Structures are given as C-alpha cells and as structure tokens.
Amino acid sequence: MASAGSFKLMGVMRCSTSHEMRDTIQFVDRAPTPSLLPIFRSQQQAELLALILGDPSTEHSLAQLTERTGIPYASVHREVERAVAAGLVTSRLVGRTRLIIADPASPYFSGLSDVLVKAFGVPWVLGQALAGVSGIDAAYVYGSWAARFSGEDGDRPVGDIDLLVLGGPDRDELYAAASSTERRLGRAVQVTIRSTDWLTEGSGTFHGTVAGRPMVPVPLTTTQTDPEDPLPRAARLPRRRPAPSTAPKPSPRR
C-alpha cells in the first residue's frame, strides 16, 4: 500500500504535469495555424519560408527578414534555426552578419517551395510582374485569398486571386503581366482597375464589399532582391476623407 508521502508526491507530479500541459496548450494557442493553409505550425513560419524558399538565389540577413515580414527578430531567429536543422536553408557569416539562403539540394525544396509560393507568396510574385507596368499607383489583393492571409477562416478553398489596381495602366500590359503569374501561383488572376482615389472616394456595393474586407498591398518592386521592399502583411485602408462642411462659417469677432 502506498504511503501518505507517496500519495503526496504523486499529487505534486500530477499538478506539475497539468501545469506543463496547460502552458504548452497556451503557447500553441498564441501561435495559431494559418487559415490560408492550416498545415503549417504558424503563419509566421509559412510567410518566412515562403520568402526564403521562393527566391533561392537571394541571401537574407536576419534583420532583413524581420523588416520584410514584420515578424519579431527572436521569432525569425527561432524559425531559421529550425529550417537549418531541417536542411531547408543554409547560413554563413559575413563579418558579424548571418546570411540565410534556401538550399535547393534539399529533397524537400522543390515541392515545399512550390506550395509555399502558391499559398503565401502571392503579393510579391504579383509585385515583381507588375513592376514593369507603368501607370500603376497602387495594387492590392482582396477577396478570399486576402481574407485567409489575414487570418479569417472559410468553408471553401481559395479560388481565383482578386487583384485591384489603382491608376491608369496600359490594360494590355497589365493583363499580360497578371497572366504571367498564374502558372507559378496555380490560380487565375482576376484584375479590376479603378482610379487612384477609388478607395477613399469611391462608393457603391462593390466598393463597400472590397473596402469592408481585408486587403493585402502588392509591393511594386523592380527587383525581388531589394531588401527595402517589404513582404506585405494585411493592409489597413486609407481613411476616407471627410466631406466638406456646408455649414456657414462663423463671422469673425470684432
């Protein structure tokens, strides 16, 4: 028969184990799986790997990865360590700077990079294609992809990519550029063109539908390797300008 001391020790062990389990569960909850493709551990992991594996010829410093993704430096460091251990990326030191690059020799590289780019690389793939089209003031991905990227759950898989272009681009050039991304993204790209101030000054049902849901900005970069070009996260729309007041101005005091 177990002694009173044994029962006390078992009770402490159960309590300790329950606390550990609770802490583990809370830690997992703080980093939920991405709604866009919930097979990855977290949105941060998926976005970071999409950036690195999607451009295997480019080296990134940890600071650049933090700046481009908006992910905290400590989290970037942790995910990079895991990727190095898995053989997905390699790293080297140049002075005091650690540079990270994808490892195409990894047996996982081809399939994993393809999946990550299709799921999470939409904005920068579009940005690279649209960079050569003049007359574009801004571009956004909206609709179901943008909603999932921003963390909204959905009952159906994401279909086409909805692209909103603001400005006065050459339509033939724009449509050709958008079409050139469809094979890599694995989806059709549906382009909508509106005036530069449409987001702030537009009206109507379609405007309300687009403006009322998440939108992700497309970085109109000239190269994919420019460290100053951020990998976009969910965007907030510009604030609507207040309508001019029609009330009479008060007379100045004498």
Q: How does pLDDT run across 71-80, given as a tens digit for each residue?
A: 999 999 999 9
Domain shared by 206 and 137, yes or no: yes
Give the pLDDT confidence score for residue 41 in this predicted structure. Answer: 81
What percent of the chain is modeled with pLDDT above 70?
73
Domain shared by 161 and 221, yes or no: yes
* Position 111 in a domain: yes
Query: Phi-psi bin for 167: left (phi > 0), alpha (psi -120 to 50), beta?
Result: left
Band the pLDDT of 70: cuts 50, 70, 90. Answer: confident
Domain shared by 44 and 110, yes or no: yes
* Position 10 in a domain: no
DSSP assignment of 168-222 equals: ---HHHHHHHHHTTHHHHTS-EEEEEE-TTHHHH--SHHHHHHHTS-BEE----S
Domain shared by 76 and 147, yes or no: no
Q: What angle do CA 244, 245, 248 make, to 5 degrees?
A: 140
- Domain of residue 113 covers 33-120
- In the chain, the largest separation of any two C-alpha atoms, in whole Å, equals 100
Q: Report how many domains make up the chain.
A: 2
**Cα 80 to Cα 115: distance, rounded to the nearest angstrom:** 19
The domain boundary, picked from 87, 120, 153, lies at 120
Q: How does pLDDT run across 132-169, given as a tens digit for each residue?
A: 899 999 999 999 899 988 888 877 777 899 999 999 99
* Position 254 in a domain: no
Domain shared by 83 and 167, yes or no: no
Domain shared by 39 and 145, yes or no: no
The domain boundary, picked from 120, 150, 174, lies at 120
The domain boundary, picked from 120, 146, 180, lies at 120
CATH number at residue 206: 3.30.460
The residue-averaged pLDDT of 3-17 equals: 46
* Position 94 in a domain: yes
* Position 128 in a domain: yes
What percent of the chain is modeled with pLDDT above 90?
49
- Kindly compute the dihedral angle of the four CA atoms of residues 126, 128, 132, 137, in this order, to the nearest 10 degrees: 60
* Position 153 in a domain: yes
Domain shared by 145 and 94, yes or no: no
Domain shared by 96 and 144, yes or no: no
Q: How many CA atoms lie within 13 A of 138 on its CB side?
A: 17
What does pTM read for this prediction?
0.65
Domain shared by 142 and 182, yes or no: yes
Q: b vs e for 147-186, b when ≥16 Cβ sit within 10 Å of the residue's Cβ?
A: bbbbeeeeeeebeebbbbbbbebeeeebeebbeebeebbe
For the cut 90, the answer to whether the pLDDT of residue 224 exceeds it is no
Q: Enumerate the H helices of 59-170 as residue ranges.
A: 62-69, 73-85, 109-120, 122-130, 144-149
Query: Phi-psi bin for 88: left (phi > 0), alpha (psi -120 to 50), beta?
Result: alpha
* Position 170 in a domain: yes
Domain shared by 144 and 156, yes or no: yes
Give the pLDDT confidence score for residue 98 in this predicted structure. Answer: 95
Domain shared by 183 and 201, yes or no: yes
CATH number at residue 85: 1.10.10.10
* Position 252 in a domain: no
DSSP code of residue 246: -
Domain shared by 139 and 199, yes or no: yes
Cα–Cα distances in angstroms (integers) from residue 17 to residues 4, 9, 21, 126, in the given order: 20, 12, 6, 48
